[in-house]
């Protein structure tokens, strides 16, 4: 029984933002559990590399280009995926990121924060990272009365971290939207949950966490000092939460939840 709880054979999963480090790791974990995986993003080179990695391990995957902030682009992508891999039953909404003009340097004035920067980060993380994907892929899930949507929120959405105020606010909104959709769709066969990773080094934040010699920056050291496990996370450590929430057998009564994977960081700050 236990071995079949996490078997995703016959499922088709879409990983929006699957060309990134964390999204790509999630795509690989879903494929390893038996799902056919559509890796969706804008970087074809990284997307195709992830597909080759999945196929080399015996999985089934394909790359699809789409703009998460363009509803038509997402709709065309959805239809292409369904034609190639079958009905989508799992959606990982992992598109997101921050911008320098929406980040407050130490000692800066919040009142001077760029409106363009704020809007750009909010749109990318909330509209492109949760709203539009839920509307486009949720529509087909509701029609087939089956689906698991997993939004990728952040520790920043639970704790207003210094400097990345727009990103933090956007991720808090992702968590709120997750709970709203979970309530709305609970009786219609579609579960909606979120995962809030702690601090996982990736392309976007590596320079904030490490110096060129590999030692911690001041900010990186502060984070480690507040993390009981005294280290950063690795992308494969999100696999268990992702596969569990994706599996209709393993988590059929789980919806509206924000699953925290943070090495204990939040236990020292909340």
- Locate the domains of the chain by residue range: 2-103+112-268
CATH number of 2-103+112-268: 3.90.1150.10, 3.40.50.1360, 3.40.50.720, 3.10.20.90?
3.40.50.720
Determine the average pLDDT of the residues in 3-31. Answer: 95
Mean pLDDT of the chain: 93
Q: Is the pLDDT of residue 177 over 70?
A: yes
* Catalytic option among 167, 185, 199, 265: 167
Q: How confident is the model at residue 54 (pLDDT cuts 50, 70, 90)?
A: very high
Share of the chain above pLDDT 90, in %: 76
The whole-model pTM stands at: 0.94
Catalytic: 167?
yes
Task: Output the CA angle 133-138-144, nearest 5 degrees.
Answer: 150
Q: Are 16 and 93 in contact (CB under 8 A)?
A: yes
- 59-82 pLDDT, tens digit each: 999 999 999 999 999 999 999 999
What pLDDT score was predicted for residue 84? 97
Which has more confidence, 128 or 209? 128
Q: Is the pLDDT of residue 153 over 90?
A: yes
d(C-alpha 144, C-alpha 250), whole Å: 20
């Amino acid at each position: 029984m236990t071995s079949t709880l996490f078997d995703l054979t016959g499922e088709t999963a879409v990983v929006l933002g699957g060309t990134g480090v964390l999204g790509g790791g999630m795509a690989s974990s879903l494929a390893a559990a038996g799902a056919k995986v559509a890796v969706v993003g804008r970087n074809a080179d990284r997307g195709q590399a992830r597909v080759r990695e999945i196929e080399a391990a015996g999985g089934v995957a394909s790359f699809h280009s789409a703009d998460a902030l363009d509803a038509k682009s997402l709709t065309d992508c959805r239809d292409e995926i369904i034609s190639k891999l079958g009905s989508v039953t799992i959606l990982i909404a992992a598109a997101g990121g921050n911008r320098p003009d929406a980040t407050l340097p130490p000692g800066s004035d919040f009142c001077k924060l760029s409106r363009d920067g704020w809007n750009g980060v909010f749109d990318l993380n909330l509209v492109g990272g949760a709203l539009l994907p839920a509307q486009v892929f949720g529509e087909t899930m509701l029609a087939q009365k089956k689906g698991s949507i997993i939004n990728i929120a952040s520790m920043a959405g639970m704790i207003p971290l210094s400097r990345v105020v727009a990103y933090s606010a956007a991720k808090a909104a992702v968590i709120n939207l997750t709970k709203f959709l979970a309530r709305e769709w609970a009786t219609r066969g579609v579960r909606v949950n979120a995962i809030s990773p702690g601090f996982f080094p990736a392309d976007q934040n590596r320079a904030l966490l490490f110096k060129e010699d590999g030692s911690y920056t001041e900010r990186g050291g502060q984070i480690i000092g507040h993390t009981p496990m005294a280290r950063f996370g690795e992308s494969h450590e999100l696999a268990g939460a992702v596969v569990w929430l994706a599996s209709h057998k393993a988590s059929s009564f789980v919806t509206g939840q924000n699953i925290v994977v943070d090495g204990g960081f939040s236990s020292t700050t909340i």
